[in-house]
Amino acid sequence: MRQTPAGIDVIAFRVLHESQAMEAGGQREVRAEVDAVAFEGQARLLAGCGLDTALAVEGFLCARSRRSKRLVLHVTKLEFSEGD
């Protein structure tokens, strides 16, 4: 975790998602690694997590910067999954 210039806690992390989805009449494996960022209370919660912590996240995708179109998930909702 670090602080923005305005002193807001922020953390950058990566989410690995694996599931199945239906597509064109067949089932397919879905795998996505998504760079993510969270702020304030969510950043502090994530800073206390180990790697491989099971999470459910919601948010919005945004290009990393004006120069980089790489997508970053900005977390707006964070839940820690149980039983994983």
d(CA 47, CA 12): 10
Cβ–Cβ under 8 Å, residues 73 and 59: yes
Torsion of CA 12, 41, 3, 35, to 10 degrees: 10
Interface with its own copies in residues 10-69 (CB under 8 A):
10, 17, 19, 21, 23-25, 28, 30-34, 39-40, 60-63, 69
| 53: Cβ contacts below 8 Å, ≥ 6 apart | 80
- Out of 1, 3, 4, 55, name the contact with its own copies by CB under 8 A: 4
Structure tokens at 58: 């919601």
C-beta closer to its own copies: residue 8 or 56:
8
C-beta closer to its own copies: residue 48 or 70:
70
Residues that bind its own copies (CB under 8 A): 4, 8, 10, 17, 19, 21, 23-25, 28, 30-34, 39-40, 60-63, 69, 71, 74, 76
